[in-house]
Structure 1
Amino acid sequence: MSKFPPFLLVVAFLFNLSLEAQNTKPPFLKYTNSKWVDSVMTTLSPDERIAQLIMVAAYSNRGEDHKQEILKLINEQKVGGLIFFQGDPESQVKLMNEYQEASKVPLLGAIDAEWGLGMRLDSTISYPYQMALGAVQEEDLIYELGIEVGRQIRRSGLHLNFAPVVDVNNNPNNPVINYRSFGEDKYNVARKATAYMQGMQDAKLLTTAKHFPGHGDTDTDSHYALPQINHPVVRLDSLELYPFKEVIKAGIGGVMVAHLNIPALDSTGVPSTLSKPIITGLLKEELGFEGLIVTDAMNMKGVTEGNEPGIVDKDAILAGNDLLEFTVEVSKAISEIRKSINQGLISQKEIDSRARKILAVKQWVGLNNYKPVELKNILEEINTPKAVYLKRKLVEASLTVLKNTNNVIPVQELESLRIASVSFGTMERTNFQETLDLYAGITHFNLPADASELMVQTLKDQLQNYDLVISGIHDFSKFPRNNLRLNEDVLQLIKELASKDNSIFAFFKNPYVLNKIDGIEDAAGLVVAYQDNEETQEVAAQLIFGGIGANGKLPVSVGEKFKAGDGLEVEGGIRFSYTLPEAAGMDSEILRTRIDSLMNLAMEMKATPGAQILVARDQKVIFHKAYGSHTYSDTVTVKKDDVYDLASVTKISTSMAALMELYEQGKFKLDGTLADHLPSFRRSNKADIPFYDILTHQARFQPWIPFWKDTFRKNGSYKRKTFKKTPSEDYPIKIKDGMYLHKDYPHKIVKAIKNSPLREKKEYVYSDFFFILAPRVVESRTDLSFTDFLQQNFYKPLGATTVGFNPQLPLYRIVPTENDFLFRQQPIHGTVHDEGAIMLGGVSGHAGLFANSNDLAKLLQMYLNGGNYGGKQYLEEQTLQKFTETTFPNTDNHRALGFDKPHYNEKGESRNTAQDASAASFGHTGFTGIMVWMDPEVDLLYIFLSNRVHPTRDNHKLYSLNTRTEIHQVLYDAIKK
């Protein structure tokens, strides 16, 4: 007896009726009796109507013989459709156009593209497998995927996708569904499948939910044998069938029937594909499905074992299927179905009804007005920037954080950490490790899956020296199956690392495999990325350092370690993310084509041998590229991590950073003077000039003094006691090998600046003088050296490992500058280009800093962020505002305090920036061919590093071509309005 009162049972019954009444019918059904369908049906013979129910396999990579075989089937058997497998888009479209031309009735083109065209076709996009999509929390993103996959498949000339997989994967050992499922939670599976299906169908691509009535709880692959499911009807109805009911309610166009033996639904033991109780009784009558019913491939052993070709196809039709996928012997299939009609096993009327259904689908997808598919630009139109960006969004959204003890993710306090990374399963540097390098100084290790006991012990000993170990567990196989190749010694090391509180693991495998790794659940940080490819490795590394966040939820349970639905939210956006222009509202094509064009012209005209360009918007690095070579004569190509001499950009990257910090500490005042910091200037002509005027270059200082010239006598020889060939306590300053400057010479430089005359008129004249003195000004208010002050307060906590003076790097990573025939008489490579800076030991506030574009960007992005980066407030927002706004707006001086600002001529044309750069923007340029610029109004950062002074400083072509500012303008043109 029911435990519910009678009136509640009546309410429930009426509610169910209401739900059934709300079912959305498949969209093509309205055309089953259309004029076009009627007209086509009148032209078809009875056998041709049968042939409409048959779809044969086609390949675009099998040559002429295969093509002729398909044409023969089209011409002689009049098949209704083709399912395409391996090949490429161009060949597929070309062939499909030829096949359509040969066909009496337009062909229905299908593909099995569960994760997009990349599942089958070369040169196309593979989106994440459905297991990863099951972790995504935004169904809108899955719908967007459906729209995009639908668009791409339609562009490739096809109309039907045998997807999505709607199976609930509740068997971790399932060998055929597994990562192809949205997971084990029936509600999650139903939601994701519905969103994916609706997106594809809204793009006019018919879909089929598979594998009815549910292939998730099997441990047999139906490609090779017939799986058996022994659950009772109650269990099947409540679990396996649930997602199918939901997508049917939502109006899915098709359902694919699996090859399964399900005694509870059909006791005869026949495959479900051939079962009338399952297809007609359950799917059509009980569930009320009126759409297209498709068999799974009719060449699979799950259905062919013990069944003859042709006869098995006939049995599938008798069971209730509308469309036969991958019929092997078409002629025999038609003959056997004809025999069944003659024997009264099925009526011609029923065959005609199914043929009408196929034709209705063809009309719905537009084949009643068929036109050949355009071949031109097909790859570009399939692989659009928007399509590529969607893949990145899905990968990011799938990331699942299962452990984050003490908020170890994102990594903080970089200045206090010695960090190591280990890639398990490979001896090659991984993309994961290369991406980690973008954030901090990291020592990398690799351990193969079959590492010896000695290799494991050696690595274990080495890792003792690090405060944080970030590990990637890799797969590298095409599909994320449940296998684990790591040997016992490697697994033991993983267990030991995970037991410590300084371990973070990124898992690039099927989540079920976590259950095979003892102790992995004890790791302080654990990120599941589901697959192992370039994108998953990049975004996992970005998550660990806070470039992006995560909110994915585990779609399956992992033994007793983790349950479906587990997943911690981690806030991102504290450091750079590295992504695509579309992520920041910019156009990839504009950036790529126009920046490449301008750079190629500059290199062709020998304006510079090469360059690094970095563009970030909204703290997203959306363009980072290296061009050309180190010099015109060598073959060393510029790499993105090579370092450049920043020349005068040193001013805003060292002096201004330090002075703003001291300003906030009350140790540097803008109305103060040099005399307040440097006692020797108290009686000089510069004693009373305020820093407001000094930092805006209107202090009446001389532009510069060629200090190096003062080391020569009139006869061209060096002055006595200026240089020695060997270093010593008195001659410690290295100018070059065999040339060491006296220790007192920097004092002579300071004295020369102090004694230099002032210009008569107070006006803007750019001068290096103060910035040469800036280290001494800073050191007058701190116990640290200028370099240590900068490292401790800025570069180390920022993770800007290459930013610094006198770079201690291999020469092949340092881009050379000028061939100096005036002072050093040699090519300048590895030391500062500026003569004054080298005479100061390579350390100065006006020149001498080296960096690559990525590390320099961290400091500049901090400026752009109002002083914040990586979760740390370095400077106050009001400080940055004060120092970067035009100081004297009502004068001819356009400068800020130390920073450059847009400078316009009488016509309002910018002289030094992109025309569209805002008045709030600021930056600096450098003599060696550098430009950096920040625009807070559009949150845009631009870095251009080059060595235009090679081979000599007389090379002004970079200026005459205006390359830097032309590229700067491209960035504004690429911002989508």
Structure 2
Amino acid sequence: MKKSRILSFLTLLIFSVQGSLAQTVTPEFLQYRNSKWVDSVMNTLNLEEKIGQLIMVAAWSNKGEKHKKEILKLVEEQKIGGLIFFQGDAASQVNLMNDYQEVSKVPLLGAIDAEWGLGMRLDNTISYPFQMALGAIQDEELIYDLGKEVARQIKLSGLHVNFAPVVDVNNNAANPVINFRSFGEDKQNVAVKSIAYMKGMQDHMVFTTAKHFPGHGDTDTDSHYALPQINHPVERLDSLELYPFKRLIEAGVGGVMVAHLNIPALDASGVPSTLSRAIITDLLKERMNFNGLIVTDAMNMKGVTNGNLPGVVDKDAILAGNDLLEFTEDVPKAISEIKNAVALKLISQAEIDEKVRKILAVKQWVGLNNYAPIKKKQVEKNINSPHAAQLYEQLVEASLTVLKNDNNVLPLKELEVLKIASVAVGAKKKTVFQKSLSLYTEVEHFQLPADADSSAIKQLQEDLKKYNLVIAGIHDDSKFPRNTMKFSDAVADFIADVSAAPNSIISFFKNPYVIDKLEGVEHASALLLTYQDSEMTQRKAAELIFGGIGAHGRLPVSIGEKFRAGEGLDVNGGIRLSYSVPEAVGMNSEVLERGIDSLMQQAMQMKATPGGQVLVAKDQKIVFFKAYGAHVYHDTTVVERTDLYDLASVTKIAATMPALMKLYDEEKFRLDQTLADHLKDFRRSNKEDIPYRDILTHQAGFQPWIPFWKEMYRNNGSLKWWTIQQDSSARYPVKIAENMYLHRNYHKKIRKAIKRSELRGKKEYVYSDFFFILAPWIVENITDQDFEKYLQREFYEPLGATTLVFNPSQSFSPADIVPTENDFFFRNKLIHGSVHDEGAILLGGISGHAGLFSNANDLAKLMQMYLNGGTYGGRRYLTQETMKEFTRTQFPENGNRRALGFDKPNLVFKGVSNNTAKGATATSFGHTGFTGTMVWMDPEHKLLYIFLSNRVSPSRENNRLSSLNTRTQVQQVLYDALLLPAEE
């Protein structure tokens, strides 16, 4: 003991030489130590009851009635001061805490280990990123916001204390217990992040404890199972391990949790720090001037229980200077031992009273002096609020760290020249990461299990030779990102080979320390670190790779000699769509989801459509994207978000208009030109002098339509012999349906019918398909290129819009294409995989007025390009001036609302019969389609809306979708969601 006291004196002397602490903020709760409420409670407690206040017992909300009775007994008989909750669920925890409070003489202090949020302990709650990931974030305000949000959730769950943050400096890569729980190895970063997290919680009335004093970061032993020894000299401990604790004490942290550690330089006796008066009283309280609440680490851990009896060890912890005992195993024995210590004058009654007053002051600070039962209603819903989800997403995005980016390969551009394969290493099925990559372009996916043998790897390597870019996701199969690796030698060699390839991207979903155990990963063209493996990190990694979001994280720990703490490259994002929550763009998710879901359910119940897809994007973030219903009525094939729909007349703005606007930019197409300038057969027709500006605004006097297919029939109902044959041939190559092949020259009859059609006498708005049927020939005449190939090369392929196609059955499985109508008057079959429009199918399925198919996600890429003023993915497709010209109303003086090819809101709102929602602004534009589709863009709100359905199933006679006004009602929900503030 004498030697220990000498060492303690030397420690104090060294600290004195090194300088004193800066101005320290007194913990706020201490103002209540001598309050009227605390005095009143103290006057009701005898010595045993006071000692009981120093004890916090472990409780679970998933252990049933027997456990509940055990806790109730401890609360009633031993008058314990608090409970620390472990596994269970929030609703059960609230109910139990209310029950326990009801029988407690003094309100109970409720605590939890929620280092990364309630999800650390409770089911169905959010787990935020681990502290190592948070250490990569460069915005401390986000860490503060996390503290604020965790405080909100803890209070909702009936508790008052978070045993967090972890302020250990993790400078030992082999640390088995701190590691990813630490903000990193840089003491300044650890301190700053810890203070931000602490203040976020304490500013919102949740008590916090900095742990694990005096620093658990540099050990390879887990104190849960043994007593770790830290052999650094005092100078090193003072300058590094103790540094974050000093800073938090200066900042006013309420509590400090003491670890179970053997630190000879601070106490040569070998006792755990939890039981060391030299460490707790001499160092923490006297030298470091901490007068807040001192809490033990769990008193059931082997690091303190080995060689120490229950109860006795609790007494020793109190004698050492601790105020609150966490996870006492034998409460009656602990109370008895501490009471005896008072009797033996090992500790004074005044010292016990001072500790009790601190605990009661904490209780008053958190509001327990005015205790009221916690509200039980919708606990989990309130905890898992939209704001909570948004914050989670923000934290993950902000933590992403790019360690390599040779030649700025990230974000990917020029998608049309890339043939991409992804490999999920450590996975046996397609991962969320791989599915998320496919949202951006065509990617072929492979999986490589962690124990794959050389033969499987050899086959994979052969398969990968067909691709010029390989994206490898390195996955972790454990719940926590441990510093371990379970890959076979062959898999590790494969990772090295992929990394050495000229064009490789590695997304590392494991603990960063593992990079040091894999040879060659650092040689990849791009190396992205996410710190942990979750659905969110996988989604965000894919978004980063394609430029939906950027990366600004910095590595919080060193990885051997490969990368040093602080390294990281900025990668700018925002060039493509990303996927987020409505609150991220100022929309109310509850209004959005409830409104759209109810309208879609109504439409399906009323048989207005069997199903559909609805997509909402704002500020280039897709914040709502759902698939509803089935492919057809009474079908088990549910609609997936990847399924293709017939776009019908949306083809006009998704095929004809991008081509014409590009040619307009290139001065190859002018609005004062006419059909006669590009189609020779229209010279000397009644349409040769009508300018395109009139034609594109539907005021050229064209007839609305011609039922071309009817011209194929005789009066007796039989087909004219030369138009259709049952078998395909060189003369009959155009497939209409099975056993229906059209003559190769029938398109000439269509052109001739349009050419010879009479004009309407008045120059007024009358919607017509005629020009758009002719448009592909006009484009081909100008470009000397096939219309479909031109669109693919100039727009769809570089956009990554791989499902935006004509004749989808040629490249997609029928299971991925939603059928349309049961055609009983022309094709006599269910139309599935080919265009619904009769005019378009007579043209081989490729036309400028109908024929395109797509899912909502790929269609959104083209529409977002429009909304961006002609840019997307880092490329300019159209000039901003052209976009403005083609999307403005051209002839309002004629009562014509139309833009050039695009539809616009009615000049005067017409109520339920309006063509758009009331909220749509005058600058908005879009189009609708006969099959039940609608696409609309609003530049003022940067808002994109896509509605895809097959309302013509089973018959086009079904007009319920229009009579219900479903499409525009859904659109109005978007504006309603904008008007209402999101709840926090």
Q: 1:67 aligned to 2:54?
A: no
Question: Residues 904 and 910 of structure 1 are in contact (CA less than 8 Å); yes or no, is this contact kept in structure 2?
Answer: no
In 2, Cα distance between equivalents of 1:486 and 1:724: 61
Amino acid corresponding to residue 863 of structure 1 in structure 2: Y
Distance 1:52 1:956 in 2: 71
Per-residue deviation at 1:910? Answer: 7.2
User: Displacement, 1:891?
Assistant: 2.2
Three-state SS of the structure 1 residue aligned to 2:668 is coil
Distance 2:358 2:445 in 1: 60
Structure 1 equivalent of residue 813 of structure 2: 810
In the alignment, structure 1 residue 902 sits paired with structure 2 residue 905: yes
- Amino acid corresponding to residue 817 of structure 1 in structure 2: T
Query: How far, CA to CA, are the matches of 1:463 and 1:378 in structure 2?
Result: 49
Instruction: State the secondary structure of the residue aligned to 2:88.
Output: coil
State the Cα distance separating 1:711 from its structure 2 match. 0.4
Q: Does the CA-based 8 Å contact 2:25-2:251 persist in structure 1?
A: yes
Q: What amino acid is aligned across from residue 609 of structure 2 in structure 1?
A: T
Amino acid at match of 1:848: G
The 1:343/1:906 distance shift into structure 2, 3 A limit, reads closer
Q: What code does the residue aligned with 1:702 have? A: Q
Q: Distance in 1 between matches of 2:329 and 2:789?
A: 76
1:297-333: CA deviations, max 9, x gaps? 0000000000000000000000000000000011110
Distance 1:645 1:27, change over 3 A: same
- Kindly provide the CA deviation profile for residues 54-93 of structure 1, in whole angstroms up to 9, marking residues without a partner as x: 0001111111111110111111110000111111111100
Residue in 2 aligned with 1:862?
Answer: 865
Partner of 1:380: 381
Distance change in 2, residues 1:944/1:788 (3 Å): same
| Residue 829 (structure 2) aligns with | 826
Q: Give the Cα separation in 2 of the matches to 1:273 and 1:15.
A: 25
Question: Is the CA contact (8 Å cut-off) linking 1:701 and 1:758 kept in structure 2?
Answer: yes
Matches within 5 A, 1:418-437: 418-437=419-438
Residue equivalent to 1:573: 574
Given the alignment of the two structures, is residue 745 of structure 1 paired with residue 722 of structure 2, yes or no?
Answer: no
Q: CA deviation at 1:476?
A: 2.5
- Separation in structure 2 between the aligned mates of residue 113 and residue 16 of structure 1, nearest angstrom: 34
Corresponding position: 1:208 with 2:209: yes
1:138 maps to 2:134: no
Q: CA deviation at 1:889?
A: 2.3
Return the alpha-carbon distance in structure 2 between the equivalents of residues 378 and 906 of structure 1.
Answer: 43
| Other structure's SS at 2:404 match | strand
SS at match of 1:443: strand
For 2:33 and 2:913, the matched residues in 1 are separated by 65
1:111-154 deviation per Cα after TM superposition (whole angstroms, max 9, x unaligned): 11110100001110000000100001100000000000011001
Q: Map residues 581-592 of structure 1 onto 2, 5 A cutoff.
A: 581-592=582-593
For 2:653, the equivalent position in structure 1 comes to 652
The one of 912, 926, 929 aligned to 2:929? 926
1:476–1:533: 8 Å Cα contact kept in structure 2?
Answer: no
Task: Work out the CA distance in 2 between the residues paired with 1:148 and 1:407.
Answer: 36
Separation (CA, whole Å) in 2 of partners of 1:778 and 1:555: 55
Which residue of 2 is the match for residue 843 of structure 1? 846
Q: Distance in 2 between matches of 1:907 and 1:756?
A: 32
Give the corresponding residue for 1:8. Answer: none
**1:853 corresponds to which letter in structure 2?**
A
Which residue of structure 2 aligns with residue 937 of structure 1? 940
Identical aligned residues as a percent:
67
Quote the residue 2:5 is aligned against. Answer: none
Q: d(CA) in 1 for partners of 2:92 and 2:830? A: 54
What amino acid maps onto 1:823 in structure 2? F
CA contact (8 A) 2:912 2:965 kept: no
Displacement of 1:907: 6.2
1:32–1:359: 8 Å Cα contact kept in structure 2? yes
- Which residue of structure 1 aligns with residue 891 of structure 2? 888
| Structure 2 residue matching 1:890: 3-state secondary structure | helix
Q: Is the 8 A contact 1:920 1:937 kept in 2?
A: yes
Q: How many residues align?
A: 964
Q: What is the rounded CA distance, in whole Å, between the counterparts of 1:333 and 1:704 in structure 2?
A: 91
Is 2:694 the partner of 1:716?
no
2:460 paired residue number = 459
| Partners of 1:108 and 1:450 in 2: CA distance | 48
Equivalent residue for 2:763? Answer: 762
Alignment CA distance shift 1:13-1:111 (3 Å) = closer
| Conserved 8 A contact 1:612-1:626 | yes
Cα-to-partner distance string for 1:179-198 (whole Å, 9 max, x where unaligned): 00000000000000000000
Q: Work out whether 1:634 is the aligned partner of 2:635.
A: yes
Alignment-derived partner of residue 915 in structure 1:
918
Quick one: which amino acid aligns to residue 346 of structure 1?
I
Closer/same/farther in 2, CA of residues 227 and 13 from structure 1, 3 Å limit: closer
Distance (whole Å) between structure 2 residues aligned to residue 576 and residue 13 of structure 1: 57
SS of corresponding position for 2:374: coil
Matches for 1:387-406 after TM superposition, within 5 Å: 387-406=388-407
Q: Please list, as runs of the form range in 1=range in 2, the aligned pairs for 1:332-411 lying within 5 A after superposition.
A: 332-411=333-412
Alpha-carbon distance in structure 2 between the residues aligned to 1:427 and 1:97: 45
Deviation at 1:904, TM superposition (A): 4.3
Query: Where does structure 1 lack aligned partners over 5 or more consecutive residues?
Result: 1-11
Is 1:508 aligned to 2:509, yes or no?
A: yes
Within 5 Å, give how 1:105-254 maps onto structure 2: 105-254=106-255
Asked if 1:796 corresponds to 2:797, the answer is yes
Displacement, 1:783? 2.0
1:148-174 deviation digits (Å, cap 9, x = unpaired): 001100111101111000000000000
Deviation at 1:342, TM superposition (A): 0.7
TM-score normalised by structure 1 residue count = 0.98
Deviations 1:802-857 (A, max 9, x none): 00100121001000000001100111000000000000000000000000100000
Cα distance in 1 between the residues matched to 2:259 and 2:910: 73
SS in 2 for 1:780: helix
Q: Post-superposition shift, 1:235?
A: 0.2
Q: Distance in 2 between matches of 1:16 and 1:574?
A: 51
Report the Cα offset of residue 475 of structure 1: 0.4
Q: For residues 71-90 of structure 1, what are the structure 2 equivalents within 5 Å?
A: 71-90=72-91
Matches within 5 A, 1:423-822: 423-807=424-808, 808-822=811-825
After the TM superposition, which residues 250-329 of structure 1 pair with which residues of structure 2 at under 5 Å, given as runs? 250-329=251-330
- Would the aligned equivalents of 2:909 and 2:918 in 1 still touch at CA under 8 Å? no
8 Å CA contact 1:902–1:910 kept in 2: the answer is: no
Corresponding residue for 1:3? none
1:954 paired to 2:971:
no
Paired with 2:493 and 2:124, the residues of 1 have a C-alpha distance of 40
Q: Deviations over 1:589-618 (max 9, x none)?
A: 111111100100000000000000111000
CA contact (8 A) 1:674 1:689 kept: yes
1: distance between equivalents of 2:319 and 2:605?
Answer: 71
> Cα distance, 1:427 vs. partner?
1.7
1:643-687 per-residue CA deviation (whole Å, 9 max, x = no partner) reads: 000000000001111000111111111000000000100110000
Partner Cα distance (2:759, 2:892) in 1: 24
Q: 3-state SS of the aligned residue for 2:790?
A: helix
- Secondary structure at the aligned position of 1:43 is classed as coil
The code of the aligned residue for 1:868 comes to T
For 1:26 and 1:464, the matched residues in 2 are separated by 63
- CA change 1:577–1:906 in 2 (3 A) is closer
**Matched residue type, 1:923:** G
Cα 1:656/1:907, change in 2 over 3 Å: closer
